[in-house]
Structure 1
Amino acid sequence: MMRIKFLVRKTHKWLGLILSVQLLLWIVSGLYMTAVPLTNVHGNHLLKADDEVLLNQYSWQPISQAELEQYAPVSSVRLTSRLNQALYVLTTEQGLIYLDGETLEKVRPLTRNDIAMIAKKKFAYDAPVQSAVLLKQYPQELGGRNQPVWQVNFNAAFNASLYFHPVTGALISKRSDIWRAFDFLWMLHIMDYDERSDVNNNLLFLSALTALIFVTAGLWLLFYSFHRRNKKQVA
């Protein structure tokens, strides 16, 4: 029995040393995730309340089948708006095509000034636009998709960034240092240092299993200690 106690105690000690850093990271990241409201992590507080957009307030005309044939095959047609004008979005085999709702001509991508104006109208804080950059693809914090996107940065509200579609001006997403800290701690919490999304990775499973052995060894030592003490008292 003394041999078993020695092995369990040694195992418990070394596992404690190995796990101590990761256990601390689990605790710190867990505290952050429970202390910070998810609505702030998602950045909902960065935006003003959206005004309802009524398309009938804009001038637009129906698009005929003959006009659609030049872009055929067209799988879907959607009517939306941008910069106070109606906008048709056509889904084709060549990709999305954007037409002015009134003239039915292809529209130009939005300029930096257009995007900055849209961002200022949506941002909930009274702060100037620090920068507006047209990225060739989504940044890592948006998943790295291979599509262009406007990134508008503000030196306010924990370095907020708003992301917009380059043609429609639609808000794609919003990020701030609150989200970035959450994302970093989530990576440490689930131990997925690449995609930061796989909670079934082998490293996390091995660490959790090691932690289980560590706790089990500690409980066994506690039980053994009490059992030995009771035997001495009886004797």
Structure 2
Amino acid sequence: MLRFATQVHKWLALVVGLQVLGWVLGGLVMTAIPIEKVRSEHHRAKFQAQALPRQGVLDAQGAARAAGVEAVEATLKTTLRGTLWVLKDAAGGTHVVDAASGRHLPPLPQKEARLLAGVQYEGEGKPVAARFYAKAPQETGREEPLWRVDFDDAEKTSVYLSPDTGEVVTMRSNLWRFYDFWWRVHILDFETGENFNHPVLIGLAALTLPMVVFGIVLLWIRLSRDLRAVRRRR
């Protein structure tokens, strides 16, 4: 039994050993680093929610008519660009209009994007670069257009803004990218970092199970021998 268990354990370890090491290292990274810090929540400036104005704004139907939009959903919100109606049409399109006039807001220019990113950022970093993406980078987990403003803090934080409302959509940093790398190692999906049900991961997990079982068997056999040796010496 000892010889059989040793051989099985050895050959399985040769196949899955590196991945097991990756799982352990990835698990250590993901448990040791607070997720709030990974998400750069400590760099989000705290704002007191402002009450929506009761006067001087169009109602949802009036805003939709003024904008020429057949809205199926409307949300009134206060932002750093003012009070806005966010209208959604039946095709899923989003229209951001001024709540007072119903006029479509032009997209953020670069100068304003840098300014609004700085206002909503908290920390010692300064904005050093701003870039507009017609399609958001993969690291954001989104596809809509976004502004990215990079800061020169220790974590190299990137603030992603909506070009319509100027609101922070998400934040990323080198810490997040380090965490994301180990997450992808953990689930073996280096393309999107989202699929943890693919055959490679399932197969390696299935091979790891008997390796662990036979490792426990080997440990039990060796401990039993050691205990018997101790008893004989006594």
TM-score interval (norm. to shorter)? 0.7 to 0.9
Unaligned runs of at least 5 residues, structure 2: none
Aligned CA-pair RMSD? 2.8
Q: Is the 8 A contact 1:127 1:154 kept in 2?
A: yes
What is the percent sequence identity of the aligned residues?
Answer: 27
1:55 alignment counterpart: 52
DSSP 3-state at the match of 2:104: coil
Aligned length: 230
Give the equivalent residue in structure 2 for 1:176: 173
Q: Given the alignment, which residue of 104, 108, 121 partners 2:106?
A: 108
- Residues 125, 157 of structure 1: 8 Å contact kept: no
Residue 72 of structure 2 is matched in structure 1 by 75
Cα distance, 1:91 vs structure 2: 1.5
Q: How does 1:21-60 map to 2 (within 5 A)?
A: 21-56=18-53, 59-60=56-57
TM superposition score normalised by structure 2? 0.85
Runs of 4+ in 1 over 6 A off after TM superposition: none
CA distance in 2: counterparts of 1:37 and 1:188, whole angstroms: 19
Letter in 2 for 1:71: G
1:50-199 equivalences in 2 (<5 Å): 50-56=47-53, 59-62=56-59, 65=62, 68=65, 71-93=68-90, 95-145=93-143, 147-199=144-196
Alpha carbons 1:157, 1:176 under 8 Å: kept: no
Structure 1: 5+ residue stretches without partners:
none
Inter-partner Cα distance in structure 1 for 2:97 and 2:196 = 43
Choose 178-187 or 55-64, whichever is displaced more.
55-64
For normalisation by structure 1, the TM-score amounts to 0.85
Output the CA distance in 2 between the equivalents of 1:87 and 1:66.
10
